[in-house]
Amino acid sequence: MAAFAAATSLKNTLERILHSSRFLLVPPSADIAALTYKAVYDIQTILLQLEYTSYSKIRTKVNTVDEQIKQAIWEFEDLLESLIYDQILPQLEISSVGENDQLYFFVDLQSLQQSVDCFIEKLMEMEEEYVLELENMPEEEGEPISSRIDSSGINSNMVGLSDQFQQAKDYVLSEDKNWLSLVGMAGVGKTTLAKKVFDDPSIQAHFELRAWVRVGRKCEFNEILRSILAQVDPNTHYQMLSQRDDDDDHKLVGALEERLRNKKCLIVLDDVWVLNTQAMDYLPKMNVRILLTSRMANKQSTLLVVRLLTFEESNKLLGEKVFGEEGFPPHLEKLGEKIAEKCEGLPLMIVIVAELLSKEDKTSEYWTEIAGKIQNSVFVEAYDQVSEVFLPSYDYLPQHLKMIFVYFGAFPPYTDIQPDKIFQLLSAEGFVELLGKQIWDEFKVEVWTDLCILYYLVLYDYSPDSWFSSKICRVHSCWQHVCRKEASKIKFLHVLQSSDDVLIEQRRLCAHYNTLFAFKEVCDSIKRDCSSTARSLLCFGPNHLYPLPIHAMDFKLLRVLDAYAVRFYHIPLEIMKLVCLTYLALTCNKEIPVSISNLFHLQILIIGQYLNIKKLGCQSYMPGQIWGMQDLQCICISGRDLPTPNSNATLDKLSFLFGVSAKSCTREILKRIPNLRYLEVVMELKHYVDEDDSDLLNGLGYISKELHNLRVLSYSVLNPDMKYYKCIIPLSMFPSSLRILCLSGTGCPWEHMNKIGSLLPNLIKLDLKQYAFRGPEWDIESGCFLKLETLIVDDADLVRWRAQNGSLPRLQLLSLRHCYKLKHLDWMLDSSMVTPIIEIVDCHPFIFASVAKIPEYLSKSRCYCSYL
């Protein structure tokens, strides 16, 4: 994995050198870079051959060569970027930059010619060695059949999951079903659930014959057949256990068919890694039910995803494992609940923690330490034991997913992660590589689907639209431990724990406790051991109220600096010398220096404020030099605005602009960001008369005239006062390309919303909050919102919501929240439409009766009321 990540990073570095509009490459620099790019491309192609090897192959020697390739690539990348840094910085220091001017930098790679030749030669040698090791990868030794068919050691005394046990049992007993796959992350209890079904008395009574086969990473179809025959036919038991692998599959299938004729049989295939559907077709289907367990999804059978235990189930399991059926004694009950909660519902983790707790004194003092500290001896040892079970799932991931997944180790345990943040960081790191005509959104969906649904590595129950969604998006703390440990071992990323950490050659540094940077010993260690080659510094700890000297550690080649959780009194000028930065996130109230333009590779710029107090008449703008930063893709500058450019400079790559006010929506500015896809405008109405808010609103009409690629528009009025309801937002504000529209605090009449909707034929989501619209009734006429899938109304004075027949034909979610006057819901649903979900949260009590009148076959309702 490490070599593939290194190759991807170096390829992106070389592409940036070859295609940068700011570099003037001195001959033969372009040829040198192109030659190096081809060599890296070739080695990456070789590395991808690992994807086509069997799960049963042992990768130890291949991984050794992989490590050598990674190290060679890193050393060359450091040499290359250091040379460029040393050439650019002096040119920056002697140049002056006008407000919209661009500097061009001479880059001469000729001094690298000898190093490039040696690097390419070394890569070619390692290519040959890698291919040789691939071709000679040894096979893992398979287990004897006697072990594969022995399920006696599997405990079927399961705690929890009674709902899924019933689902699995009903499926197996049904007459029209054949296969059921129990899938989910390692350690979640798939095998235990299968064993409980296998041992259930009603199952034993229904099936005359049963067979249990543990498949694993190495198990041929021939062995599966013999394992089944050994259990269903006593006459062949000894023969099947002793026969060799050269048995004729057709003879075995014939013998199995003969034995199973007119008999009902349940076959459990446990721990399946590769589902050989062609081979499975040979298994007799008449009267046979197949139940399999796997860490990966498959499309060939019905899936039942085994869930994590609930809090109550976790509590019960831990209590029973430590104290027996009586559970926790009273003095340890609350502490036991906290410990169980830290296991995050994973049965394997709960069982291991229980075993470790059983060996120690059961005192309140000891359990308080275990419950309170994230890093304690019990959990660290438990994580290490769980890692042994988890590691195969990680080892055999595709390399591009492995590279992405291990990055999750940077984030603190037990915390949710925004998917967009992960992908922004990965892109800025240089780890995103689109294949063929693949677009960015397709890449994100594909990767996220693989991690969440195919391999079950990410806990994902995140529907941002539903009020009832748990909003979970993170890796389990056990997986987070694996990612962190593996990342540190290969020098990919290290999470700082103390001043004693060994940081030599670590590529990325992350802190879950930002205060660590306040200690001189930590700063000195970073400065001495890795600052000259570190590519990322991630401050992911809690918000820190005071500045930290993260700029004083002599970073040179940093690409990612995420210090959003750290408060700066002013932006350190040393940061403006980090010319390799592609991602910068800071929190500071002071003005941004004009030297921000030095960061000409910057793709993501996030500047937050820790105070939002504004002086009368004071305006805060980004420096004009921002228009010269051509690589910017995302700008988040809450509390600041884009300045009006003085030239024809454009930010063609800018796709996301967050947190600006209407001042940034002038025609002069919008025409310079023509490819914007996501715009968030925040308006603060004035309570004094120095400025006319209606003029600002009228200026918003240029959005539809200039932003033809806009997909998402969010417009919020802060501290809305309904006396401003006459300030109607202009219809010309909304381009027909919009797919998502979020409005808050605008106070317009509902008739105006209907007019807006008529202009947006592609709208799929409409989110209206904090009196976005006012009035007692919203009547949606037939033929309106024909593509709308999600409608959210939160905090409005509606009394009646009415949707006529023929409107909202594709609506999947209607969520009405905190509309305390809402009494009537009239929706003439058509049975041919999709079946929507209706959410009612803290509305008038009469509305619940109104929703109850809608037949269940037309809609599903979910209601919550805090005052009943």
Compute the distance between CA of residue 216 and CA of residue 779 in angstroms, rounded to an integer.
Answer: 60
Give, in degrees to the nearest 5, the angle at Cα 241 between 238 and 247: 110
pLDDT band at 50 (very low <50, low <70, confident <90, very high): very high
pLDDT value at residue 767:
97
Please say if the pLDDT value at position 614 is more than 70. no
Strands (E), 638-749: 656-660, 678-684, 712-718, 740-744, 748-749
Q: Say whether pLDDT at 568 is over 60.
A: yes
Q: How far is the C-alpha of 120 from the C-alpha of 289, rounded, in Å?
A: 56
Contact 492, 2 (CB under 8 A): yes
Mean pLDDT confidence for 627-632: 92
User: In whole angstroms, how far apart are CA 818 and each of 360, 800, 842, 849?
Assistant: 50, 14, 5, 17
| CB distance 478 to 346 below 8 Å | yes
pTM for this prediction:
0.92
Number of Cβ within a 10 Å radius of residue 378? 22
Distance CA 611, CA 192 (A): 54
Element (H, E) at 693: helix 693-699
Grade residue 398 by pLDDT with cuts at 50, 70 and 90: very high
pLDDT at 353: 96
Residues β-bridged to residue 715? 681, 743
Tally of CB atoms within 10 A around 614: 11
Q: How confident is the model at residue 672 (pLDDT cuts 50, 70, 90)?
A: very high
For the segment 106-137, what is each residue's pLDDT rounded down to a tens digit? 999 999 999 999 999 999 999 999 999 999 99
CA 449, 451, 457, 458 torsion-angle sign: negative
Q: Assess whether the previous peptide bond of 284 is cis (omega < 30° from 0).
A: no
Kindly report the average pLDDT of the chain as a whole number. 89
Q: Per the structure block, which two tokens stand in for 271?
A: 């721990």
- How far is Cα 293 from Cα 307, in angstroms, rounded to an integer? 13
CA distances from 199 to 235, 268, 308 (A): 23, 11, 22
Contact (CB, 8 A) for 334 and 369: no
Task: Give the chain's length.
Answer: 868
Closest CA to 294 of 387, 222, 396, 209: 396
Which residues, at least 6 apart from 768, have a Cβ–Cβ distance to it below 8 Å? 742, 743, 744, 753, 792, 793, 794, 796
Q: What residues does 717 pair with on adjacent strands?
A: 683
Element (H, E) at 482: helix 477-489
Q: Evaluate if residue 617 carries a pLDDT over 60.
A: no
What digits encode the pLDDT tens for the residues 260-269?
A: 888 899 999 9
Least confident of 18-27, 490-499, 688-697, 743-752: 688-697
Span between the terminal Cα atoms of the chain, in Å = 55
Answer yes or no: are the C-beta atoms of 393 and 186 closer than 8 Å: yes
Residue 559: φ, ψ to 5°: -100, -35
DSSP states of 535-578 as a string? -EEEE-SS-BSS---GGGS---S--EEEEEEEEESS--GGGGG-
C-alpha to C-alpha distances, 541 to 342, 515, 638, 647, nearest whole angstrom? 19, 8, 21, 41
Q: Please give the structure tokens belonging to residue 866.
A: 């805090």
Of residues 105, 2, 8, 759, the one with CA closest to residue 435 = 8
Coil, strand or helix: which one is 729? coil
Q: Say if residue 138's pLDDT is above 90.
A: yes
